């Protein structure tokens, strides 16, 4: 994903290899294969990627504002086969 980016409405971006669990809350999206062609009609995006990452960013901005939650600001898409999946108790699947 590249170097951390700071400033603006979003916090630091996760660096490849960052240990999951640094933040108290991660809004996590399930990454999976199959499931049809999704909203985009198969235009090169899998069904799990509907509104990704924009939808995740917008949801987190509102959630943090309403609940005063200390959460990771960036997208956190995790494969359902990833052993680190258990570290994220809330997972969103489209």
Burial of 14 (0-12, 13-18, 19+ CB in 10 A): buried
pLDDT of residue 6: 35
User: DSSP for 9-38?
Assistant: TS-PPPPTTPPTTSSSB--EEEE-S-S--T
The model scores a pTM over 0.95: no
pLDDT-derived band at 30, boundaries 50, 70, 90: very high
Q: Taking the domains of the chain in order of start, what are their residue ranges?
A: 28-92
Q: pLDDT at position 8, please?
A: 42
Please choose, from the candidates 63, 29, 34, the residue with its C-alpha nearest in 3D space to the C-alpha of residue 49: 29
């Amino acid at each position: 994903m590249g170097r951390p980016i700071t400033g603006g409405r979003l916090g630091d971006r996760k660096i490849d290899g960052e240990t999951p669990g640094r933040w108290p809350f991660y809004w996590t999206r399930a990454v999976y294969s199959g499931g049809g062609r999704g909203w985009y009609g198969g235009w090169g995006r899998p069904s799990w990627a509907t509104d990704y990452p924009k939808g995740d960013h917008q949801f987190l901005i509102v959630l943090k504002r309403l609940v005063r939650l200390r959460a990771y600001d960036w997208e956190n898409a995790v494969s359902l086969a990833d052993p680190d999946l258990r570290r994220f108790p809330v997972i969103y699947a489209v």
